[in-house]
Amino acid sequence: DTGVSQNPRHKITKRGQNVTFRCDPISEHNRLYWYRQTLGQGPEFLTYFQNEAQLEKSRLLSDRFSAERPKGSFSTLEIQRTEQGDSAMYLCASSFFTSYEQYFGPGTRLTVT
């Protein structure tokens, strides 16, 4: 299967802990996006990479959030000092540079207790 994969699928953590999520995009895709989705809403853009360069970050992404894409392959999203408001589904998507079409992974469901 060459789709987008995300790990872990579910994460339960206590407030104040740090968490890290991983995304493996479709191998030929050079663009990688992170979105956040809360229950009953559409996904909201968080950040975007073209190859290894992080080119845009949403104002939703506070200083507690950091994302990397070393070597332009997989990406990680870290949340430090988690808060209950961080509870959401974190989605990763990838695409070709020239395409509007993004392909999503299954997401990581984060619950902060």
Can you give the binding site for other proteins, defined by CB under 8 A?
Answer: 4, 6, 31, 33, 35, 40-45, 48, 55-56, 91, 93, 95, 99-107, 109
Based on CB atoms, which residue is closest to other proteins, 79 or 105? 105
| Closest to 64 measured CA to CA, from 101, 106, 20 | 20
Is residue 75 within 8 Å of 62, Cβ to Cβ?
Answer: no
Neighbouring-strand partners of residue 97? none
Based on CB atoms, which residue is closest to other proteins, 4 or 112? 4
Work out how close the CB of 105 gets to other proteins at its nearest, in angstroms, rounded to a whole number: 5
Based on CB atoms, which residue is closest to other proteins, 32 or 81? 32
Work out how close the CB of 16 gets to other proteins at its nearest, in angstroms, rounded to a whole number: 26
Distance from C-alpha of 29 to C-alpha of 98, rounded to nearest angstrom: 10
Work out how close the CB of 107 gets to other proteins at its nearest, in angstroms, rounded to a whole number: 5
